Structure 1
Amino acid sequence: MSEPRFHVLLGPDGAGKSSVMRRLAKTLPGWRLVSTDSAFVAPEHALIPRLRRDLHDQLLPGLGTAYSVDFLASVLQTAVVHLRDQVRDRDPRVPVLMDSYYYKILAKCRLAGVRDSRMYSWWRSFPQPSGVVFLDVSPRAAWHRRGDGTRLNALEFDGEDGDWADFERYQTNLRKLLLEEVRDVPVTMLREQPDADRAAEAVRAVLEVPSA
């Protein structure tokens, strides 16, 4: 039996993937969109967005004090396995576009200092997409989209201050690791788009879906 076929939308922080996914949800008839964002999670999987909220509201503020990076990886793995399950159990007749898959979580775990190579090897053994659409963005544009640094979380910058230099360094390294993780998968690079509507149209073109 062949592996399920699906596409992944990937990009650094601030690339606009969530906004693009919400727009595509209205303009990709016949496609299934998969994400850990609550807008795309079925009611029977309500635990997933709840864990995501708890991670941002409770775990990340205590990272390095109340919680270790290994604990962080353990919580993030729930999202990784959930996304894997959505690929494994899907209807093969329905095309899927997935937000980030395990690639971004793995890259962020590496940047956080998680060294569990066995966990990474397991994630990398999951079904691979037929293509990745990489929505690129410059660190400067991403910084502005994050309110000039006022809306950052601890997994979006290096160091402790979260200033521009910390953000730029982290995002540069994140982009490098993301591209490293998908080096064996067909990748279509989309240059930075001026707004989410045009980014969504660019993604539609890659997926060869006519405009509505």
Structure 2
Amino acid sequence: MSPHLPLFTVLLGGDYAGKSSAMSRLAADPEPVRVVSVDDRFLEARHTLIGRLRRDVVKTVAAPDGAYSPDFMASMLQTAVVHLRDQLLTAAESADGRPLVVDSYYYKILAKCRLAGVRENPMYDWWRSFPQPSRVVYLKVSPREAWLRSRRGTRLNSLEYYGDRPDRASFERYQSDLDKLLWDEISHLPVTVIEQHHSAERTAEVVREAVRHDHT
């Protein structure tokens, strides 16, 4: 780990908590933050492979037909984890003074791997040895609201619910278990919980305040 690694904040939350909307607004702010994410909108052109791999893992490798093992799925998802780590190290070499926000980091991928049946292993230990954030900002949203944001399940992928087909019960049970595992991973860190807002701009504003407070 670089001794000059800049302070960074991790933006975390369950599925459909509003992270993507908040990050888009943060990046477009008159005083923007630097967003590190594997979402296509935040990837540089030279890193589009990461987006393709992520989509293929969700669509094909994590499909409930049993074609690939949970261990294989975790091995593929590790590409996203290492990319986020690499971008943090790159930020350490080219710090430009902007606050640095990382989308979910390894916490959410690790939790989803555990929910898929991947037991504790040296890979997890390696991820946990990566640089730690100065703070986690956790977006809290009710299961009912998350379900509505998923368009009542029509937008869900197989890593967002239990079973072969999504319904509200399988989605909410998965999200409850995901929330518990996320808190297991971040319990040793300073955490700011942001309660549900119906305005995406208001959510981004509260996230912005938390990020800037740590940065200054």
TM-score range, shorter chain: over 0.9
The residue number in structure 2 matching 1:84 is 85
Q: Give the Cα separation in 2 of the matches to 1:125 and 1:4.
A: 17
Residue 164 (structure 1) aligned with residue 168 (structure 2): yes
- Could you tell me how far 1:59 is from its partner in structure 2? 2.2
The residue number in structure 1 matching 2:24 is 22
Q: Give the Cα separation in 1 of the matches to 2:57 and 2:36.
A: 20
Is there any run of 5+ residues in structure 2 with no aligned partner, and where? none
AA aligned opposite 1:85? D
Q: Deviations over 1:110-149 (max 9, x none)?
A: 1110014211110000000011100111111100000111
Residue 109 (structure 1) aligned with residue 110 (structure 2): no
Q: Look up the SS of the partner of 1:200 in the other structure.
A: helix
Q: Give the Cα separation in 1 of the matches to 2:124 and 2:61.
A: 21
Q: 1:5-154 residue pairs with structure 2 within 5 A?
A: 5-27=7-29, 29-61=31-63, 63-90=64-91, 91-92=94-95, 93-154=97-158
Q: Return 130-139 or 85-94, whichever deviates more.
A: 85-94
Q: Look up the SS of the partner of 1:89 in the other structure.
A: helix
Q: Is the 8 Å Cα contact of residues 10 and 136 (structure 2) preserved in structure 1?
A: yes
Q: Give the Cα separation in 2 of the matches to 1:31 and 1:208.
A: 9
Is there any run of 5+ residues in structure 1 with no aligned partner, and where? none
- Corresponding pairs, count: 208
- Could you tell me how far 1:2 is from its partner in structure 2? 4.7
AA aligned opposite 1:81? V
- Could you tell me how far 1:171 is from its partner in structure 2? 0.3
Q: CA RMSD in A?
A: 1.5
AA aligned opposite 1:119? M
Q: Is the 8 Å Cα contact of residues 35 and 83 (structure 1) preserved in structure 2?
A: yes
Q: Is the 8 Å Cα contact of residues 4 and 127 (structure 1) preserved in structure 2?
A: no
Pair 110,89 (structure 1): closer, same or farther in 2 beyond 3 Å: same
- Could you tell me how far 1:4 is from its partner in structure 2? 3.3
Q: Is the 8 Å Cα contact of residues 10 and 17 (structure 1) preserved in structure 2?
A: yes
Q: What is the aligned counterpart of 1:178 among 173, 178, 182?
A: 182
Q: Give the Cα separation in 1 of the matches to 2:182 and 2:112.
A: 9
AA aligned opposite 1:171? Q
TM (normalized to structure 1)? 0.92
Q: Give the Cα separation in 1 of the matches to 2:87 and 2:30.
A: 18
TM (normalized to structure 2)? 0.91
Residue 187 (structure 1) aligned with residue 191 (structure 2): yes
Q: Look up the SS of the partner of 2:62 in the other structure.
A: helix
The residue number in structure 2 matching 1:206 is 210
